[in-house]
Structure 1
Amino acid sequence: MSEPSRSKELPVRLLTDPVMIEACRARDFGRVFQLVKARAGIYPSMIARRCDLTPSRVGEVIDGRRQLLHMDVIERISDGLRIPGHMLGLARRTWETPQNLTVTPREPIAAASPADAQWAAGLPGTDVDSILALAAERDLSPSTLNALHSSIADYWRRDDEHGGETLRPAVVGQLRYVVGLLKEERSSPMREGLHGIAAELARLTGWTYFDARQDHQARAYFTEALGLAKAVDDHRFMANVLACMSLQATYQDKPGDALALVTAAQDQARAAVGTTPRVLAMLAMREAFAHATLGNHHATHSAISEAHTHFGRISTDDPDPAWVAYFDETKLVVDTGIAHGRLGEAVLAEPLIADALRREHRRNHRGRAFHAFWLARTQLQRGKLDEACHTAMEALGPAAAVSSQRVAGHLREFHEQLEPFRREPAAVAFESRLREVLPRQVSGSPRP
């Protein structure tokens, strides 16, 4: 590393300080900038130059008068201050030392305890690990593919229960492992199976970034999943990925893109052999979301009707792919309610979402929190303040149990919608409970 590059780096002691780690994890850039100034001698004007920001903007962030939420700005901060990507929830930056190189620490490392040293002495060195990995037989079998599929199903279950932030490193590692296997010569059926697994892992990675509202990374992994599925002409899975991208566009307030993507997804599904009614029902509901975001009432109702028609044709003998199993009757009902809610049809939305919420699995923390906040919003739209606040309070438990910026965004939106009723007893009680369970969300900014 050249001397000019080294001079840009932050001290190791700062990067490993728990306060700095937590500030980066929370993307509390006011605190990050204060720490960089105090511990690295990099003043606001220098921060501004390095990160391509105006000095006044940096000052506003430090004073707590502005938050930095856009991904391109966060990436510029990572690159300008040399904060490793993983600390800010980003992919590995191009300037970071490649993982296979050993970096000589610039600061003393505490000596290992005798017990640690004895344990470590029984492990092979990294060079031996590499040699053994090269020599190992990697003769894959159908049971190996089944095991990989099982691990993906487990990842999805844990994502529902806890969010995908902590799962992501393991999922990405497995994705790169499977992509590495694809580079080796294998029989056609085995290659097709590996492509399918890699596509599922890439979609799951994209989903975890989407749920964290890191849209640039999400789109990159969704695109990778699309390419992997296309390589083996898996049109059904291509439809699935395009449907995910359509939902992402809906959340980005790009309903035109959302409609174009779900239309492409439906084209892929129709081109596939053996597309099941459940898949078609899921795609029709995504179309309803896009139309609802555009405010097209007739088209939304038509798409909802189509989704219910397809769902009514589902048979227990259908060869449904595993990735659509989540779209059950409860999901159909709650999505119907959300589509009506997006149109502002709270009278239709409220009973549907409430019914689905009663049936939803208790361990699906994200789904329960997400749908409860939708229900609270529709109740508030109907003037049912006490019920809305009660519903939202019940959602705080599952919201606290899962790491999901999408859920946090819905919480902040509901919190803002309560502004005209701040002095009402129900709103005061909700605010008190919110500060107790999720204090950091009280001062959070609204979803852009």
Structure 2
Amino acid sequence: MPDADRPRELPTRLLTDPEMIEACRVRDFARVFRLLRTRAGIYPSMIARRCELTPSRVGEVIAGRRQLLHMDVIERIADGLRIPGHMLGLARREWETPQALVVVQRGTPQVLEPDQPEAASLPSPEVDGILSLATRTTFSAATLDAFRSSIEDYWRRDDQHGGEALRPAVVGQLRHVVGLLKENRPTSIRNGLYGIAAELTRLTGWTHFDARQYSQARAYFTESLNLAKEIDDRQFMANVLACMSLQATYQDKPADSLALVSAAQDQARSSLGTTPRVLSMLSMREAFAHATLGNRYATHRAIGEAQGHFERIRTGDPDPPWVVYFDEPKLIVDTGIAHGQLGEAATAEPLIADALRREAESNQRSRAFHAFWLARTRLDQGKLDLACHTATWALESASVVSSERVTGHLREFYDRLAPYRQEPVALAFEARLRAVLQPVSGSLRP
């Protein structure tokens, strides 16, 4: 099969386009095929070859003279065009991201962790029975609060130590919550459990993202969206889409990043309860996407919008717990990073330095990230000694956090030192970097 006809993933901006989503939902293949042609460059002849259809049949579908109703044909279309199964009302396809969590439409979600044997992660049937019995007799709104408190603790530990060691505990609790959803419960309790399951799923996706395991992260983020959709929590859906947008910037897909954060903002605006803090965070993610694309005007505009929303924050706003991390130091440091991405190092440096002075010492991963960015902006201005000193300081936080994203940033700084590799200060940084990274990775190279 020619390379152009080989199945490949469709652009995220197309898969998240409301028109494409609706066309797939109602299986309007005339519209699907037209969107593929105009927005992904997949022409009717290519559609025919990939889906094992005749060109004339594809042409008749596009012209509205034929409908495609047979399940085997619909499955060939999903597989040939790489349209995720859930978009067409099908089961997950074999080629899709390894299954991390399956949500049965309007039913009870089920959990599967492919990286570990199921028996090693789940309680025994006897323990499940005891837990189920206890739940039926004692479950209340206070139990939901206990779950939410544990999630907040997970996030604190994630920032202090990284998510790799944390993931088994998070997945274990997710399995337990999914089990609780099998019982008949009052609507308020059931909705609360769906929200908790959605946040645990997002956290699991985040731990994969932090480990640069992007396919697994995307699978969990997608299922987190599905769970939030069950209870129409649009603010949370916006949050998950913002996570996916950030991941796209790491995968060097800035157009996808912008499409995802735009979808996030649409969800947030459609919710009457969206708070200024949520809108500010989303505007800053938009600034990141524009900065990665090199669009200076749009980046500055998005930064201004983020600051404007932040100024409207008032004490007592009903902020969701997952956004309280976005405080003033976070706004300042993200503003500096966006300027740094644009190459505006002189503007970025004092902002990042100020935020670092105000950041909690317990947030080891964040401090490592931000110190890296400070070192980078200083290097971009030719401040070699100060840049290496800052990067060496960043290593102290990096050394106590298990995060491939952190080590990736530090390796990137090392690569930027290439023109100065023989300078004493650069050699000293390299020696310290090797001492920190080699016990884990064995190499300075990604």
Question: How far did residue 434 of structure 1 move?
Answer: 2.0
TM-score by length of 1: 0.71
Runs of at least 5 residues in structure 2 that lack an aligned partner in the other structure: 1-94, 99-111
Quote the residue 2:228 is aligned against. 229
Partner of 2:444: 444
- Distance in 1 (CA, whole Å) between partners of 2:290 and 2:424 is 37
Pairing partner for 2:119 from 99, 118, 122: 99
Code of the aligned partner of 1:99: A
What's 1:63 paired with? none
Question: In the TM superposition, what are the counterparts of 1:353-372 in structure 2 within 5 Å?
Answer: 353-372=352-371
Partners of 1:157 and 1:127 lie apart in 2 by 32
Shift >6 Å, 4+ stretches: none
Is this contact kept in 2: 1:412–1:442, CA < 8 A?
no
Moved more, 194-203 or 417-426: 417-426
Conserved? CA contact 1:91–1:217, under 8 Å = no
The aligned residue for residue 157 of structure 2 is 158
Deviations 1:370-406 (A, max 9, x none): 1111111111110000000000010111100000000
**Mapped pair 1:202 → 2:201:** yes
**CA offsets per residue over residues 68-98 of structure 1, 9 Å max, x none?**
xxxx9xx9xxxxxxxxxxxxxx9426xx865
Aligned residues of 2:434 and 2:443 also touching (Cα < 8 A) = no
Distance 1:142 1:129, change over 3 A: closer
2:189 maps to amino acid: M
Residues in 1 aligned to 2:244 and 2:297: alpha-carbon distance in whole angstroms: 23
Write the mapping of 1:7-406 to structure 2, written as runs, cut at 5 A: 91-92=113-114, 98-99=118-119, 128-129=126-127, 132-133=130-131, 135-138=133-136, 139-406=138-405
1:438/1:183 CA distance change after superposition, 3 Å: same
Distance 1:443 1:146, change over 3 A: same
1:347 shift after superposition: 1.2
State the SS of the aligned residue for 1:438. Answer: helix
Letter in 2 for 1:389: C
Deviation of 1:429 after TM superposition, in Å, equals 1.5
> Does the 8 Å contact 1:373/1:414 carry over to 2?
yes
Larger RCO (CA within 8 A; separation ≥ 6)? 2
Q: 1:329 to 1:442 in 2, by over 3 A?
A: farther
Are 2:135 and 2:180, in contact at CA under 8 Å, matched by a contact in 1? no
Residue 428 of structure 2 corresponds to which residue in structure 1? 429
The residue number in structure 2 matching 1:106 is none
Give the letter aligned to residue 443 of structure 2.
S
Within 2, Cα distance between the matches of 1:262 and 1:101?
34
Counterpart amino acid of residue 220 in structure 1: A
TM score, norm. by length of structure 2? 0.72
State the alpha-carbon separation in 1 of the partners of residues 331 and 121 from structure 2. Answer: 50
Question: Aligned equivalents of 1:128 and 1:232: distance in 2?
Answer: 31
The CA deviation string for residues 136-185 of structure 1, in whole angstroms up to 9 with x for no partner, is 44341011000000000000000010001001001011111111211221
Shift in Å at residue 436 of structure 1? 3.1
The alignment yields a C-alpha RMSD, in angstroms, of 2.3
Contact 2:437 2:444 in 1 (8 A): no
Paired with 1:229 and 1:430, the residues of 2 have a C-alpha distance of 45
Q: Which runs of 5+ in 1 are unaligned?
A: 1-71, 76-89, 103-124
Instruction: Name whichever of 348-357 and 402-411 sits farther off.
Output: 348-357
The code of the aligned residue for 2:412 comes to E
Quick one: which amino acid aligns to residue 168 of structure 1?
R
Instruction: Please report how far the alpha carbon of residue 420 of structure 1 lies from its aligned counterpart in structure 2 after TM superposition.
Output: 1.4
| C-alpha distance in structure 1 between counterparts of 2:432 and 2:185, whole Å | 57
CA contact (8 A) 1:396 1:437 kept: yes
Alpha-carbon offset, residue 134 of structure 1 = 5.3
Write out per-residue CA displacement over residues 242-287 of structure 1, whole angstroms, 9 at most, x where no aligned residue. Answer: 1111101111111111111111110111111211110000000000
Write the letter of the residue equivalent to 2:255: G
Cα distance in 2 between the residues matched to 1:371 and 1:222 = 25
- Rounded to whole Å, the distance in 2 between the matches of 1:100 and 1:338 is 42
Note closer, same or farther for the CA distance 1:374–1:188 as it changes in structure 2 (3 Å cut). Answer: same
In the aligned structure 2, how far is the partner of 1:263 from the partner of 1:276? 17
Change in 2 beyond 3 A, CA 1:376/1:182: same
| Native 8 Å contact 1:434 1:442 kept in 2 | no
**Structure 1 residue aligned with 2:406:** 407
Name the stretch that deviates more: 126-135 or 176-185: 126-135
CA distance in 1, matches of 2:124, 2:292: 53
Secondary structure of the corresponding residue to residue 439 of structure 1: helix
Tell me, what secondary structure is at the counterpart of 1:316?
coil
Query: Given residue 150 of structure 1, which amino acid in structure 2 is its aligned partner?
Result: S
Counterpart residue type for residue 157 of structure 1: R
Instruction: Indicate how the Cα distance of structure 1 residues 421 and 188 shifts in structure 2: closer, same or farther if over 3 A, else same.
Output: same
